[in-house]
Amino acid sequence: MKLEGVGIVGYGVYIPRYRIKVEEIAKIWGGDAKSISNGLKIFEKAVADYDEDAATIAVEAARNAVRMASIDPKDIGAIYVGSESHPYTVKPTATIVAEAIGASPELTAADYEFACKAGTAGIQTCMGLVASNIIKYGLAIGSDTAQGAPGDALEYTASSGGVAYIIGKDKLIASIEGTYSYTTDTPDFWRKEGQPYPRHGGRFTGAPAFFKHVYNASIGLMESLNLKPQDFDYAVFHQPNGKFPRKVAKMLGFTIEQIEEGILVDKIGNTYSGSSLMGLAAVLDKAESGERIMLTSFGSGAGSDSFSILVEEGIKKIRGKVPSVEDYIKRKKYLDYATYAKLRRKIKVIS
């Protein structure tokens, strides 16, 4: 669907300071680090500190977004936090964010869950509310402290981080030209109530899940807006590892040059709800006015939301106001597996 006048007013990211290398995890489980690194195209991942969770990460990203946008937080009329690691099963993360950024109490808020695409679902909701003049600004966040079971392949990639986007109609740094979604009932990845770690369908996660949905959403978007891959300067895809986004880009007809800027998974891991949105932030950190970006998320279960984003003049005014994706990537400290296991509460402390 073609949209006019709605877009991004500001964005903010947060990546925790700790990293663990693939070698360090492989050492513990007897994996071959080189072949894992080559296979998954990932070298290290971000790890949240003991006192960080999806809510604290969401707050840090949201505070950066509000500072970048230079808006009064009281003008935010809706907050949606997408995560598969909300700290409470019952009690919203969005209310914590609303209070911590000073947006309370006149707003609507809710938590979203749709594996790794809950953040882009929040953006679409905000777009609708803004376009229909129900709210002035909406805040959509993807934030996770993702966990893989110790020894599971997911442990090499499941990481922590968050991204926040403020959607509005004025002071745009980028407009959203349109969005298109593709959703089916696909059991590629799941976690039931009370289970600490998710289960996945192994090889089933590729073709019928990631590739089918990302491909169809991206094609649907381009068809609906009458655009071709060559009309985009950048394309950003969900990145559960470094291999999938590169492969789907090729299937769709995008070049390596169009996608490299938005691939971060090799340095920070899969930040789940933050994954494709973090890639978009890295591209916005560099993009020039007039450039066009495709963003396609993926959430297991399964679905993809695709967006066409056109960078506006306003982008110049916000550069350097808050830490960039690169600033957070550079700020790092490596952990050994034992410390990592303690921070991520893989070892239960009896008290």
Partner 1 sequence: MSNVPRFWRNLKRRYNLIGTKCLNCNELYFPPRQLCPKCRRASKIEDVQLKGRGEVLTYTIIHSAPKRFEGQTPYIMAIIQLEEGPKLTAQIVDCDPTEIDIGMKVEMVFRRIQEDGDAGLIYYGYKFRPIAN
Q: Which amino acid would we find at residue 328?
A: Y
Among 99, 170, 223, 326, binds partner 1 (CB under 8 A): 99
CA-CA distance, 61 to 97, in Å (whole number)? 10
CA-CA distance, 76 to 73, in Å (whole number)? 5
Buried b (16+ CB within 10 A) or exposed e, 286-314: bbeeebbbbbbbbbbbbbbbbbbbbbbeb
What's the farthest any 2 CA atoms get from each other in the chain?
61
Catalytic residue among 44, 52, 60, 84: 84
**Minimum CB distance to partner 1, residue 122 (Å):** 19
Beta strands in the chain (DSSP E): 7-14, 18-21, 44-47, 76-82, 108-112, 137-145, 160-168, 174-183, 189-190, 199-200, 234-237, 292-296, 303-311, 333-334
Q: Encoding tokens for residue 85?
A: 């690691």
**44 catalytic residue (yes or no):** no
**Minimum CB distance to partner 1, residue 331 (Å):** 5
Which residues, 6+ apart, have CB-to-CB distance to 219 below 8 Å?
252
CB-nearer residue toward partner 1: 98 or 173:
98
CB-nearer residue toward partner 1: 63 or 213:
63
Catalytic residue among 60, 126, 238, 261: 238
CB-nearer residue toward partner 1: 7 or 323:
323
Q: Encoding tokens for residue 112?
A: 């979203």
CA-CA distance, 101 to 327, in Å (whole number)? 22
**84 catalytic residue (yes or no):** yes
Which residues, 6+ apart, have CB-to-CB distance to 31 below 8 Å?
25, 156
Do 298 and 120 meet the contact criterion of CB atoms below 8 Å apart? no
The HSE-up count of residue 347 (CA atoms within 13 Å, CB side) is: 9
The verdict on 46 binding partner 1 (CB under 8 A) reads no
CB-nearer residue toward partner 1: 100 or 310:
100
The verdict on 20 binding partner 1 (CB under 8 A) reads no
CB-nearer residue toward partner 1: 103 or 236:
103
**Minimum CB distance to partner 1, residue 216 (Å):** 38
Give the footprint of partner 1 on residues 321-340 (CB under 8 A): 323, 327, 331, 333
Task: State the number of binding residues for partner 1 (CB under 8 A).
Answer: 25
The verdict on 49 binding partner 1 (CB under 8 A) reads yes
Catalytic residue among 116, 155, 213, 261: 116
The verdict on 100 binding partner 1 (CB under 8 A) reads yes
CB-nearer residue toward partner 1: 92 or 208:
92
**Minimum CB distance to partner 1, residue 240 (Å):** 27
The verdict on 102 binding partner 1 (CB under 8 A) reads yes
Q: Which residues are identified as catalytic?
A: 84, 116, 238
**Residues near partner 1 (CB under 8 A):** 17, 49-53, 55-56, 59-60, 63, 87-88, 96, 99-100, 102, 323, 327, 331, 333, 342, 345, 349, 351
